[in-house]
């Protein structure tokens, strides 16, 4: 894994000057965020853990992106989601008049602020701070290990970099997550996105999620017939471990005001 990270990092560094030279010659200077824009979306996912429970998540998220001068930008994002575990996978159903199978739910709310510097012809570097809270409702005695109760606050920090290379975007994000009263969790995710069409993006990602390998694929499309305002994404990711966790993600995002193609949006608006 580490050798692979180094390999990708070297690839990114090697590619940056090439992209810079070629793209800068072709396009005029642009701002980090062309104009303030907003988006609101629905997110849904379904995770299945081998030999354990599966669970579904449904939520709502929004973001606001704004320029700070020509080189910098900022992004505010927030989301709320609910995850419901399918306890029938592990608790056999018992016909009963006096009791029922207990359920398990998680409610999550979080918000984050990102600041970034971007040259739309080159790439982007960003730093983010986020704060969230996840609350569980799982039977009589279910607690977060770090807090000992049914709620856990989360602080996280991210630093990331993206390089725009023709129809490709290569990215790396390091996240440091600090659960309330818990040990810090570190993760590194690398991604490579390809725009076969300016309205279609295919992203492969892989990395180290809390010392567990993870990889995924996502396809995002922003159909022209929806006025370039609506984006849909479908993805699948895996956390590779003994009890492998496979997750299917689906999201629909509506972008207010800005009607630009997906590739442009990614590199100039968010």
Partner 1 sequence: MRLFLGEKVHYLPGARRVAGLLLFGSLAGCGGGGGGDDVAPVQISTNAITFSAAGPSAEVPAAQSFTATFGDDVVQLSVIHSGDAIASTTSVLNGRSAQITVVPAAPTAVGPGAFVGAVAVTGYTCADTTCSRMAAGSTATLPVSYQISPALLSVAPYVEVAGRSDTVVIRGQGLRAFNISGVRFGDTAATNVNVNTAGTELSATHPALAAGSYVIHLDSTNHTGEIPSNVALRVVDPVAFAATTLDHPSAATVVRSLSYDLERQALIVVSDAGGGSIAHYRYANGAWGAPTQVGSGFLDAALSADGTQLFAITPAHFWPIDAATLAVGTNIAAPSLATNSFLKNIVVGYDNRSLITTSLTTSGSTQGYIYDPPTGILGLNGTALNNATPTMSASGAGAILSQGDSTLTSDVPVYLYATAANALSASTVSLRQNAVPPAVNRSITRIVLNGTKVYDGNFALLGTLPDTTAGVVLKSDGSRAYAYDTAAGGILVYDVSVDRDEAAYTALGAVTPLAADPGPGLRMAITPDNGTLFVAGGTRIVVQPTPAL
Pairwise CA distance, residues 14 & 4, whole Å: 15
Considering the complex, what minimum distance in angstroms separates the CB of residue 48 from partner 1? 9
Binds partner 1 by CB under 8 A, chosen from 32, 33, 239, 253: 239
Give the binding-site size for partner 1 (rule: CB under 8 A): 98
Asked if 152 touches partner 1 (CB under 8 A), the answer is yes
Asked if 36 touches partner 1 (CB under 8 A), the answer is no
Q: SS3 letters for 175-206? A: EEEEECCCCCEEEEEEEEEEEEECCEEEEEEE
DSSP 8-state code for residue 33:
S
| Of 92, 102, 88, residue with least CA distance to 138 | 102
Binds partner 1 by CB under 8 A, chosen from 1, 6, 24, 71: 1
Asked if 130 touches partner 1 (CB under 8 A), the answer is yes
From the list 29-37, 113-121, 239-247, 250-258, the region that binds partner 1 by CB under 8 A is 239-247
CB nearer to partner 1: pick between 62 and 182: 182
Asked if 103 touches partner 1 (CB under 8 A), the answer is yes
| Of 168, 196, 125, residue with least CA distance to 23 | 168
Element (H, E) at 126: strand 123-138
Angle at 260 between CA 252 and CA 12, to 5 degrees: 85
Element (H, E) at 48: strand 37-49
Considering the complex, what minimum distance in angstroms separates the CB of residue 69 from partner 1? 28
Binds partner 1 by CB under 8 A, chosen from 20, 198, 219, 250: 198
CB nearer to partner 1: pick between 37 and 108: 108
CB nearer to partner 1: pick between 28 and 97: 97
Binds partner 1 by CB under 8 A, chosen from 177, 222, 251, 258: 177
Structure tokens at 32: 């980090």
Asked if 11 touches partner 1 (CB under 8 A), the answer is yes
* CB 207, CB 228: distance < 8 Å: no
């Amino acid at each position: 894994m580490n050798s692979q990270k180094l390999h990708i990092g070297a690839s990114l560094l090697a590619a940056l000057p090439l992209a810079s030279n070629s793209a800068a010659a072709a396009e005029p200077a642009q701002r980090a965020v062309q104009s303030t824009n907003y988006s609101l979306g629905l997110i849904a996912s379904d995770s299945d853990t081998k030999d354990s429970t599966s669970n579904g998540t449904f939520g709502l998220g929004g973001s606001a992106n704004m320029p700070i001068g020509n080189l910098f930008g900022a992004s505010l994002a927030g989301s709320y989601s609910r995850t419901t575990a399918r306890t029938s996978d592990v608790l056999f159903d018992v016909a009963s008049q006096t009791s029922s199978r207990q359920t398990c739910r998680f409610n999550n709310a979080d918000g984050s602020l990102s600041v970034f510097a971007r040259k739309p012809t080159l790439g982007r570097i960003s730093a983010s701070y986020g704060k969230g809270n996840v609350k569980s409702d799982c039977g009589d005695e279910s607690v977060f290990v770090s807090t000992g109760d049914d709620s856990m606050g989360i602080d996280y920090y991210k630093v990331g970099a993206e390089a725009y290379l023709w129809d490709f975007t290569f990215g790396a994000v390091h996240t440091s997550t600090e659960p309330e009263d818990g040990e810090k969790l570190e993760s590194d995710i690398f991604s490579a996105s390809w725009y076969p069409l300016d309205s279609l993006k295919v992203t492969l990602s892989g990395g180290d999620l809390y010392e567990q390998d993870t990889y995924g694929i996502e396809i995002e499309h922003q159909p022209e017939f929806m006025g370039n305002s609506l984006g849909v994404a479908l993805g699948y990711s895996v956390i590779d471990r003994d009890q492998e966790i496979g997750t299917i993600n689906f999201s629909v995002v509506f972008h207010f005001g800005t009607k630009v193609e997906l590739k442009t949006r990614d590199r100039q608006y968010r």
